[in-house]
């Protein structure tokens, strides 16, 4: 058995001393708030009404089950997530296929595709909010020029919460498709060209090579990309606060509203944990279904 020398112990101790400040900051910023919110979710904790903090068990969770606003926000966040992730996956996949080809200016296009993704979500929301403005917004102007809208037609694109979610989804697709593209492009570059050469010898065309070679070998990257985007899209907040003042447009927006506008900290904590468990269940189900399909193939 190898013994640890005194110098090695000093090095380990020195490394531990250097790590302690970072560990403490991570604990205070990430670990402790998660623990605290879990505790608060079982308490009546309304900061502004002056009522006593008291343990109420699962009452906050049971109230959420019967809350119409909460389930409306879950529903809207769900179809926002499905809509954006499906479109981003399709666009990202074909964009990655294109950028994986050899052509002049490939490096330039790989670089500029990052720009929408690198843009702050708030800036992206303000940009698309201007595009959707009635009358002088870019969308209305283009539709008038193309004579799709009449001279007197000026639709209020963001007037209804249900339509706002779809328009916010388009803005999210524009911003996050490059993220999906880069993840899938990294996966494509790991696929050997010999696989495509073998498929060509067998007489496979473009679509058969994609279906039987590219997609099966790219599946690990697709799983990672979709899981990351589902988790990000479901908790969307910034862009919806710009487009609408309706908290039920997103479960994250509703949670924020209860926590930091009305200071219902117990209810907001339960809401955060409920939605977290909900999205984790969806992700686990998605991964299990994909792994089952991969095993069958």
Residue 36 falls inside a structural domain: no
- State whether 12 and 107 are in the same domain: no
- State whether 4 and 48 are in the same domain: no
- State whether 110 and 233 are in the same domain: yes
CA 129 to chain centre: 20
For the segment 120-148, the average pLDDT, to the nearest whole number, is 84
Residue 179 falls inside a structural domain: yes
Residue 46 falls inside a structural domain: yes
Q: Are 184 and 92 in contact (CB under 8 A)?
A: yes
- State whether 123 and 262 are in the same domain: yes
pLDDT band at 294 (very low <50, low <70, confident <90, very high): low
Rounded to the nearest integer, the mean pLDDT of the chain is: 85
How confident is the model over 39-83, as pLDDT tens digits? 999 999 887 777 788 899 889 999 998 889 999 888 888 888 899
How confident is the model over 274-283, as pLDDT tens digits? 888 888 887 7
- State whether 6 and 116 are in the same domain: no
Q: Are 175 and 229 in contact (CB under 8 A)?
A: no
Q: State how many domains the chain has.
A: 2
Report the CATH number at residue 69. 1.10.3720.10
- State whether 25 and 149 are in the same domain: no
- State whether 8 and 140 are in the same domain: no
How confident is the model over 167-206, as pLDDT tens digits? 888 999 999 999 999 999 988 888 887 887 787 877 778 7
Residue 165 falls inside a structural domain: yes
Q: Residue 269, class by beta-carbon neighbours within 10 Å (0-12 exposed, 13-18 middle, 19+ buried)? A: buried
pTM: 0.81
Which residues constitute the domain of residue 103?
41-296
| Rounded Cα distance, 252 and 289, in Å | 27
- State whether 1 and 82 are in the same domain: no
- State whether 8 and 63 are in the same domain: no
Residue 52 falls inside a structural domain: yes
Residue 160 falls inside a structural domain: yes
- State whether 1 and 53 are in the same domain: no
- State whether 19 and 156 are in the same domain: no
Residue 67's closest CA among 275, 236, 241?
A: 275
- State whether 9 and 64 are in the same domain: no
For the segment 222-243, the average pLDDT, to the nearest whole number, is 84
- Supply the pLDDT for residue 102: 81
């Amino acid at each position: 058995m190898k013994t640890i020398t005194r110098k090695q112990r000093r090095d380990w101790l020195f490394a531990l001393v250097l790590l302690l400040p970072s560990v403490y900051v991570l604990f205070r910023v990430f670990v402790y708030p998660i623990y605290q919110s879990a505790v608060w979710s079982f308490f009546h904790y309304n900061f502004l009404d002056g009522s006593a903090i008291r343990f109420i068990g699962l009452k906050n969770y049971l109230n959420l089950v019967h809350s119409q606003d909460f389930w409306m926000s879950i529903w809207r966040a769900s179809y926002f997530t499905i809509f954006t992730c499906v479109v981003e996956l399709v666009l990202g996949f074909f964009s990655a296929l294109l950028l994986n080809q050899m052509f002049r200016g490939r490096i330039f296009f790989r670089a500029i595709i990052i720009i929408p993704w690198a843009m702050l979500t708030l800036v992206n929301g303000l940009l698309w909010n201007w595009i959707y403005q009635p009358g002088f917004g870019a969308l209305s102007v283009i539709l008038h020029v193309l004579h799709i809208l009449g001279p007197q037609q000026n639709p209020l694109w963001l007037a209804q919460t249900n339509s706002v979610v779809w328009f916010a989804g388009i803005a999210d697709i524009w911003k996050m498709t490059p993220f999906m593209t880069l993840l899938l492009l990294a996966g494509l570059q790991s696929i050997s060209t010999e696989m495509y050469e073998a498929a060509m010898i067998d007489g496979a065309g473009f679509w058969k090579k994609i279906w039987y070679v590219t997609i099966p070998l790219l599946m690990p990257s697709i799983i990672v990309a979709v899981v990351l985007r589902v988790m990000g899209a479901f908790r969307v907040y910034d862009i919806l606060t710009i487009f609408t003042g309706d908290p039920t447009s997103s479960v994250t927006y509703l949670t924020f509203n209860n926590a930091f506008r009305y200071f219902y900290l117990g209810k907001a904590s339960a809401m955060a944990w409920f939605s977290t468990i909900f999205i984790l269940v969806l992700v686990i189900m998605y991964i299990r279904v994909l792994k089952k399909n991969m095993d069958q193939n």
